[in-house]
Amino acid sequence: MKQQLVKRIIMSVMGVVICGISVGMFKFAALGVDPFQSLMSGLDAVIPIRFGTLYVIVNAILLLFALIFDRRKIGVATLINLFLLGYIVEFSQGICERLMPNAPLWLRVVILLIAIVILCLSSALYFTADLGVSTYDAVALVWSQKQSKIKFAFCRVICDFVCVLIGVILCLIAGMQFTDIFGVVGVGTIITAFFMGPLITFFNTHVAQPILNGRKKTT
């Protein structure tokens, strides 16, 4: 039991940290961020405060949702995500910009693809660890569990679509040019909006659960 708890803690922490790194890579690639970050980018465009601080405020609001509907989703990973992920994103993006200034399109595409894969993997890690998920992830998880006939992947697609729509509207309200909006809502956004749920499910089944429970138990 103690050994498994240690595994769960490590999976939770690594999941959140890797998630922050991947989002920073998304923002650096400027080919569209994941759906929740589309919403955050829209809010960032209209609210003049530091991104890391804004991230904490928005997630604190979403935390209320999780507390009301399913407190079991709140844990170590939730708190780390709430207070640190926004700043990890800033740090990751800054590192990419210093190491790869004026990156060509082909390199940005490669960075984007890597970011998508590790974002889904990181989500699967802290989902399976079950020591709390991000406040945004909790929305789709709670919805799918309360409505047992609706699969998580479908709930995630709907939540992602709503975030993208609101993000685009906020960017337009802020007066952003379409070329700049493409860096927020682009190819990366479309891929994650429609495939992130299924990819998380894949990594959860084939990577995260085997790590936690061993190869003999993957369901």
What would the mean pLDDT of 108-134 be, rounded to a whole number? Answer: 87
Say yes or no to pLDDT of 49 above 60: yes
Secondary structure of residue 5 in the 3-state scheme: helix
pLDDT tens digits for 137-166? 778 777 777 766 677 778 878 888 888 899
Q: State both tokens at 81.
A: 């995500």
Contact present, 186 and 32 (Cβ < 8 Å): yes
Q: Which helix (H) or strand (E) holds 100?
A: none
Q: Which residues contact 148 (CB under 8 A, 6 or more apart)?
A: none
Return the higher-pLDDT residue of 108 and 83. Answer: 108
Task: Give me the number of domains the chain comprises.
Answer: 1
> Percentage of the chain surpassing pLDDT 90?
21
Q: Where are the alpha helices (DSSP H) in 70-134?
A: 76-99, 105-129
> What are the tokens at 106?
């082909």
Angle between helices 187-203 and 105-129 (to 10 degrees): 30
Alpha-carbon distance of 111 to 187, in angstroms, equals: 13
Q: Please state the φ and ψ torsions of residue 100, each to the nearest 5 degrees.
A: -130, 60
219 in any annotated domain: no
Mean pLDDT of all residues belonging to the chain: 84
The total number of residues shown for the chain amounts to: 219
Give 150's contacts (C-beta < 8 A, 6+ positions apart).
143, 144
Give the amino acid at 172.
L
Q: Is residue 69 part of a domain?
A: yes
* Total-model pTM: 0.77
Q: Is 125 inside any structural domain?
A: yes
Residue 218 lies in a domain: no
CA distance 50 to 102: 24
Structural domain range at position 202: 2-213
**Per-residue pLDDT tens over the stretch 70-82:** 777 777 778 877 7
The Cα–Cα gap between 168 and 100 comes to 27
Amino acid at 144: S
- Runs of H (alpha helix) within 100-218: 105-129, 135-146, 152-173, 178-184, 187-203, 209-213
